[in-house]
Amino acid sequence: MKHLALKLFAAAALLTSATACQKYSEQREGNTSTSGLTTVMCDNSFENIIQQEIDVYEYCYPKASVIPYYIPENAAIDSLLQLKTRLAVITRELTKDEMDFLKGKKRNPRCQRIAVDAIALIVNPANPIEKITRKEIAEILSGEVTDWNDLEPNKTGKISVLFDDSGSSTVAYMRDSLLMGKKFGENVFAQGSNKAVFEGVKNHKGAIGVIGVSWVASDLKSPSLSIEERVNSSQNSDTTALDFNQDIKVLKVQKNPESVEFFKPYQAYIYSGEYPLYRSIYMVCASVPGTTAHGFFSFVTGYQGQKIIQMTGVLPALVHPRLVEVN
């Protein structure tokens, strides 16, 4: 029996720049790229990704400490502009005005894409639905469709749409890309966190969750690994195959309104654009080289940080995937 497995290969150029993670042993005082304290303001959709980056970075450099704040995207940008932090993880590049503002504060911000995230649509495994069109998604979000039976013969009952937070970038993405100015229906609810979205779908047959793909990849076994195992995995250039957590069902989504093809948010389909619900993840650093903030920025945007992202199910900016058929 054949099945598709996703294989991801690091670019050869990246391999030449890969360096082993070594514990920092030099006795230094103050803030350097491998020692000291910094904060990062991160869109709460990406908590699972950035926390793994921090865990490995701090293990590699035990004199460095990165304190994360997982907050709505607008709050993360505001904190950066108010110089309350030197690092932010968001879904867009800074505007020219924002860049000029920081330069006027004698900062030289760097903004780099670190990954491409997919928005996964998840349902309870007891729900017989397997795929969904973009039009159907919009009708569910707007409240025009409120019962699963309105889509296809289905006894699951009323539809409840679960988001993480009313101010999250996930909410903004779905509103802007699918609703075209319409308001969300009364069947849409904020759960307060991505974990709560996952649990809500897991425990309620009628729920559909809207969540970043890193929260549902079964290869999220990586957080349960020891730090040493995660470090070794992040240094390994071997391929990685990902699937999804079996506690929920990930729906196939229509490629485009004219297409008859449907795809799940595997990394290869995110890369090819065949899975349609995706957005970029950017990291912004407003600190100078030689600081802890800049050191963490370099780590995340470098080979080892990109391998950590690959292990979460999100598409790294510097890794090219391909589909391979295996027996």
Q: Of 199, 200, 234, which Cα lies nearest the Cα of 307? A: 234
**How many CA atoms within 13 Å lie on the side-chain side of 169?**
28
Residues with pLDDT less than 50, the chain: 1-29, 219-221, 239, 241
**What is the per-residue pLDDT for 218?**
54
Q: Tell me the per-residue pLDDT of 94-135, one tens digit each, with 9 for 90 and over.
A: 999 999 999 999 998 999 999 999 999 999 999 999 999 999
List phi, psi (to 5°) of 278.
Answer: -145, 160
d(CA 173, CA 13): 33
**What is the per-residue pLDDT for 182?**
87
Q: Is there a contact between 166 and 210 (Cβ–Cβ < 8 Å)?
A: no
- Kindly report the pTM of this predicted structure: 0.83
Q: Is there a contact between 12 and 40 (Cβ–Cβ < 8 Å)?
A: no
Distant-in-sequence contacts of 15-22, Cβ < 8 A, 24+ apart: 15/237, 15/303, 17/302, 17/303, 18/235, 18/237, 18/303, 18/304, 19/303, 19/304, 20/235, 21/56, 21/59, 21/60, 21/231, 21/234, 21/235, 21/304, 22/60
**What is the per-residue pLDDT for 11?**
36
**What is the per-residue pLDDT for 312?**
87
Q: Of 276, 241, 245, 250, which Cα lies nearest the Cα of 261? A: 276
CA 190 to chain centre: 18
Q: Is there a contact between 95 and 189 (Cβ–Cβ < 8 Å)?
A: no
d(CA 234, CA 238): 10
**What is the per-residue pLDDT for 150?**
94
CA angle centred on 10, ends 5 and 13, rounded to 5°: 160
**What is the per-residue pLDDT for 324?**
54
Q: Tell me the per-residue pLDDT of 232-267, one tens digit each, with 9 for 90 and over.
A: 666 665 545 467 889 999 999 999 888 899 999 999
**What is the per-residue pLDDT for 157?**
94
List phi, psi (to 5°) of 2.
Answer: -95, 150
**What is the per-residue pLDDT for 239?**
46
